[in-house]
């Protein structure tokens, strides 16, 4: 396990980005770039992350970033990888696609599936703020049950899509979940992913103050509650073997989990959630952990 | 400049299809990355390229993508990473790529796409017309059309050189009629690799992500304004698009130069590189057409001349940028033009017809122009249709009938019930 002192001191994002105050995505990106280092090329689709990069002519990162149309993230990464392979540079430079949940679970799922099936040598990172934030909080395939969005004004009627599982089904060597409130875990996972050949997928929960309806100061607390309630288990699947990450291990014991209400009530988007939906959440979490218990190797 | 076609007895003469001509051009242009997805009638291009890659005849990365949208996205990213890239497609494939086409132009990526033309659904049709080619008119690409397999090969080699010229840096599309050329065997010459290498040096790109010492943010959000900061001044969207338009306008000279240089080196010319003319010197009327329609017109013109009608042809090779200045100059002494469009600007006329009218606007003694629609969805364009059109055009010209109404040649309405129903309705 890395500790704070192990993090490289160098920053790869210049100060003063266009992300909102309290944005977990900005934190995730900052930590990921530290873990990836200077020999990295990033590609980014339309999303809040595009906006973070600021305006034409001024690059806010110390590594190159190729912006690409919304549904092309993994295809764009495939193009960079193919060109690097042609030039014999593929082992030297890491190619990393960084996209939102909409860009990943909805419009970009086809190109991601194709790239994973081809075994493209790249890291795909999805920061999951659980809606289309950049365009004004519309629902995505990753919006959770009961959550308000501008296109689900009465709350969403279905659970979020389990994207990491879909990627796992592609038989890729590395799938991991993470959470903006656990930066050291993020750092470690990106470092690990960088060293593996093939397609690596990281899915990172990314609390969003304006989209979820909470004050910017609470970002870290809310991300932690997602883990502490058992809603967001953090794990890695390495060559098909399932490992619970350190900060999630103790929630295998149901008595250690906080009630889901503690998480839901911190965010305005769940204001209209029904009792039925809360019951549904409890079942969802229980089922999730039953499956984890069956699979987990480090227990 | 007009260099006569050499008659050569040569081992380099091969009998191959239009699709394979395109694939050989890619091999000899030494493309570094190809990403493609199969669609009729283009598929043999990518099959042949896969074969070249597998046999080690082409040292390229072939990305077998899951859609044309991704094919185009891979091409854009690989080009931005500094590779020479290309792909091939048809019809629905091109339409699926659409989002990436203005993107590639705006990013000034010298990608080359081969298009075996095919009608757009619905209903399904796998046969040729020029609607797919025409529909991407406004994305900011260089668009060229070919009439035979040799021209496909030659135009591809030139297309890379034009697109990669530092004064240009604009993607190019090379089109040819599906089946009519894509699947037809013709003898053609494949040039020496050494000569092709001399003509087409390796790409020196203006963007190269693989050089990580140069950190770049490519294509983030632009504002409507110019941005001034201590670090420098950055253009707004408007300035970027101005630069693209001006580069397209100026590329015509470069297209001519590249064509002439090729003609000089390899002994094959295609008119002035912008359009090809046939029997125009003494002509009373010129046919204006593209691709398969122009080829058919050549045959029909011989028949018309036997009947004493002095008809000539101008076959358009460069559709974008539209060579308006050169067409104005060429047509200024002609009285009559008849346009055969294998496409429609739906809701208006055939596109070649109205673009030519626009290009000749305000010419002193401007010629009479009449347009016809022909051959949509692969309906044969016959001598009879062309001859019929010419007679109708001459008649309309005598009467001075200027109209934008579309007239379709070769329709078989009389064989269909719905025409009878129309008649009944009309009493
Ligand atoms: C083809 C296409 N459709 C729609 C859009 C508009 N659009 C831009 S970003 C976005 C939502 C992005 O959501 P997500 O991927 O979750 O990223 P976030 O903004 O939440 O960070 C949408 C719908 C687009 N750019 N392109
Ligand atoms: S809307 Fe949310 S995800 Fe987007 S920048 Fe703001 S806090 Fe970050
Ligand atoms: Mg989102």
Task: Tell me, in angstroms, the distance from the centre of ligand 3 to residue A128's CA.
Answer: 6
Q: Identify the helix (H) or strand (E) that includes residue A45.
A: strand A40-45
pLDDT computed for residue B343 by the predictor: 98
Q: Is A135 in the pocket of ligand 1 (CB under 6 A)?
A: yes
Cβ contact A83–B77 (<8 Å): yes
Q: What is the pLDDT of residue B212?
A: 93
pLDDT at position B427 over 70: no
- The pLDDT tens digits of the residues spanning A174-231 come to 999 999 999 999 999 999 999 999 999 999 999 999 999 999 999 999 999 999 999 9
Is residue B95 scored above 50 in pLDDT? Answer: yes
User: Is residue B118 over pLDDT 70?
Assistant: yes
In the sheet that holds A40-45, the strands lie side by side as A241-244, A235-238, A174-179, A199-205, A122-128, A94-100, A40-45, A64-68, B217-218
* Residue of the CA atom closest to atom 24 of ligand 1: A70
What number of other Cβ atoms are within 10 A of residue A60's Cβ?
18
Q: Write the pLDDT tens digit of every residue in B250-283.
A: 999 999 999 999 999 999 999 999 999 999 999 9
Range from A76-80, A230-234, B363-367 carrying the lowest mean pLDDT: B363-367
Considering every ligand atom shown, identify the ligand nearest to the alpha carbon of residue A180 and give its number: 2
- CATH superfamily to which B6-199 belongs: Thiamin diphosphate (ThDP)-binding fold, Pyr/PP domains (3.40.50.970)
Q: Which two tokens stand for residue A70?
A: 């919304």
Which helix (H) or strand (E) segment is B422 a member of?
Answer: helix B417-425
- Check whether B419 has a pLDDT greater than 80: no
pLDDT, tens digit, 9 for 90 and up, residues B157-195 = 999 999 999 999 999 999 999 999 999 999 999 999 999
In the block, which residue shows the tokens 């090969």?
Answer: B153
Tens digit of each residue's pLDDT (9 = 90 or more) over B209-247: 999 999 889 999 998 999 988 888 999 999 999 999 999
The CA distance from A212 to A232, in Å, is: 16
Q: Is A207 in the pocket of ligand 1 (CB under 6 A)?
A: no
Which chain A residue has its CA at the smallest distance from B78's CA? A79
pLDDT band at A55; cut points 50, 70, 90: confident
> Which residue in this structure is represented by tokens 């470092």?
A191
Q: Where exactly are the structural domains of chain B?
A: 6-199, 275-414
Torsion (CA) A217, A220, A225, A226 in degrees, nearest 10: 120
Which residue among A58, A80, A87 places its CB closest to the CB of B234?
A58
DSSP state letter for A102: I
Task: Give the domains, in start order, of chain A with CATH numbers.
Answer: 8-298 (3.40.50.970)
Q: How far does the CA of residue A140 sit from the closest CA of chain B (Å)?
A: 21
Residue pointed to by tokens 């970002």: A219
Average pLDDT over all residues of chain B: 95
Q: For A15-52, how does the pLDDT look when each residue is reduced to its tens digit (9 = 90+)?
A: 888 899 999 999 999 999 999 999 999 999 999 999 99
Q: Quote the pTM value.
A: 0.96
State whether residue B50 sits within 8 Å of chain A by CB.
no
Q: Over 70: is that where the pLDDT of B106 sits?
A: yes
Q: What was the pLDDT predicted at B2?
A: 44
Site to substitute for ligand 1 among A18, A26, A47, A75, most atoms within 8 A of C-beta: A47
Contacts of B398 by beta carbon, 8 Å cutoff, 6+ apart: none
Q: Which residue CA neighbors atom 5 of ligand 2 most closely?
A: A19
What's the CA gap between A103 and A109, in Å, rounded?
Answer: 8
List of chain A residues whose C-beta atoms are within 8 Å of the C-beta of residue B74: 75-76, 78-79, 82
What pLDDT is recorded for position B424?
A: 61
Query: Hey, is the C-beta of A21 within 8 angstroms of any chain B C-beta?
Result: no
DSSP for B264-325 reads HHHS---TTSSEEEES-TT-SEEEEE-HHHHHHHHHHHHHHHHTT--EEEEEE-EEES--HH
Residues in chain A: 299
**Any bridge partners for residue B174, and if so which?**
B114, B144
Tokens 């669609």, residue located: B39
Q: In 3-state terms, what secondary structure has residue B212?
A: coil
CB contact at 8 A, B383 and B297? no
Class of B275-414 in CATH: alpha beta
Q: What is the pLDDT of residue A19?
A: 94
pLDDT at B377 exceeding the cut of 80: yes
Same-fold call for B6-199 versus B275-414: yes
User: Which residues of chain B have a CB within 8 Å of the CB of A86?
Assistant: 32-33, 59-61, 78, 83
Task: Specify the pLDDT at position B229.
Answer: 85
Give residue-wise pLDDT tens across range B50-91. Answer: 999 999 999 999 999 999 999 999 999 999 999 999 999 999
């Amino acid at each position: 396990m890395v500790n704070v002192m192990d993090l490289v001191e160098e920053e790869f994002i210049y100060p003063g980005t266009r992300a909102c105050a309290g944005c977990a995505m900005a934190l995730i990106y900052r930590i990921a770039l530290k873990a990836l280092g200077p020999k990295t090329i990033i590609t980014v689709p339309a999303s809040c992350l595009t906006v973070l990069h600021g305006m034409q002519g001024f690059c806010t990162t110390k590594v190159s970033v190729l912006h690409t149309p919304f549904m092309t993230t993994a295809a764009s990464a495939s193009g960079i990888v193919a060109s690097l392979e042609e030039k014999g540079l593929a082992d030297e430079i890491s190619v990393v696609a960084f996209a939102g949940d909409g860009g990943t679970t909805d419009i970009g799922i086809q190109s991601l599936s194709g790239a994973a099936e081809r075994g493209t040598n790249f890291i795909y990172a999805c920061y999951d703020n659980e809606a289309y934030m950049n365009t004004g909080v519309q629902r995505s395939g990753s919006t959770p049950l009961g959550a308000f969005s501008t296109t689900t004004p009465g709350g969403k009627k279905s659970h979020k899509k389990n994207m990491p599982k879909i990627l796992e089904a592609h038989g890729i060597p590395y799938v991991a979940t993470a959470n903006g409130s656990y930066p050291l875990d993020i750092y470690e996972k990106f470092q690990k992913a960088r060293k593996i050949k093939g397609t690596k997928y990281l899915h990172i929960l990314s609390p969003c103050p304006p989209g979820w309806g909470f004050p910017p100061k609470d970002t870290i607390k809310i991300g932690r509650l997602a883990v502490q309630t058992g809603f967001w288990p953090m794990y890695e699947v390495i060559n098909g073997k399932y490992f619970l990450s350190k900060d999630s291990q103790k929630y295998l014991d149901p008595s250690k989990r906080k009630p889901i209400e503690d998480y839901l009530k911190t965010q305005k988007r769940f204001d209209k959630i029904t009792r039925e939906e809360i019951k549904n959440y409890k079942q969802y979490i229980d089922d999730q952990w039953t499956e984890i218990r069956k699979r987990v190797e480090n227990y | 400049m007009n260099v006569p076609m050499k008659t050569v007895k040569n081992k380099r003469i091969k009998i191959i299809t239009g699709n394979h001509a395109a694939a050989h051009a890619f091999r000899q242009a030494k493309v570094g990355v190809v990403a493609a997805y199969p669609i009729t009638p283009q598929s043999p291009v990518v099959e042949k390229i896969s074969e070249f890659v597998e046999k080690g005849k082409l040292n390229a990365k072939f990305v077998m993508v899951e859609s044309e949208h991704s094919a185009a996205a891979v091409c854009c990213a690989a080009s931005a990473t500094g590779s020479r890239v290309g792909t091939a497609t048809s019809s629905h494939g091109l339409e699926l790529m659409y989002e990436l086409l203005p993107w590639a132009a705006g990013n000034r990526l010298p990608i080359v796409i081969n298009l075996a033309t095919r009608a757009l659904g619905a209903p399904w049709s796998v046969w040729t017309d020029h609607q797919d080619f025409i529909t991407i008119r406004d994305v900011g690409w260089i668009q060229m059309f070919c009439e035979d397999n040799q021209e496909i090969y030659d135009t591809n080699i030139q297309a890379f050189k034009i697109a990669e010229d530092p004064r240009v840096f604009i993607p190019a599309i090379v089109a040819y009629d599906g089946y009519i050329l894509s699947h037809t065997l013709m003898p053609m010459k494949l040039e020496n690799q050494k000569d092709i290498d001399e003509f087409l040096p390796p790409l020196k790109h203006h963007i190269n992500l693989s050089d990580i010492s140069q950190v770049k943010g490519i294509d983030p959000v632009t504002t409507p304004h110019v941005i001034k900061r201590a670090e420098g001044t950055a253009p707004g969207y408007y300035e970027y698009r101005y630069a693209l338009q001006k580069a397209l306008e100026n590329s015509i000279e470069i297209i001519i130069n590249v064509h002439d240089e090729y003609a000089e080196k390899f002994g094959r010319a295609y008119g002035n590189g912008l359009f090809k003319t046939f029997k125009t010197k003494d002509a009373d009327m010129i046919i204006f057409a593209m691709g398969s329609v122009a080829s058919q017109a050549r045959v029909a013109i011989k028949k018309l001349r036997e009947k004493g009608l002095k008809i000539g042809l101008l076959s358009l090779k460069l559709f974008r940028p539209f060579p308006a200045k050169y067409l104005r100059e060429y047509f200024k002494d002609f009285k009559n033009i008849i346009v055969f469009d294998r496409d429609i600007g739906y809701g208006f006329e055939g596109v070649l017809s109205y673009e030519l009218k626009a290009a000749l606007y305000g010419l002193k003694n401007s010629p009479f122009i009449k347009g016809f629609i022909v051959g949509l969805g692969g309906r044969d364009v016959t001598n009879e249709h062309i001859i019929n059109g010419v007679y109708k055009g001459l008649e309309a010209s005598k009467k001075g009938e200027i109209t934008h109404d579309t007239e379709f040649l070769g329709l078989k309405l009389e064989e269909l019930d719905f025409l009878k129903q129309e008649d009944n309705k009309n009493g």
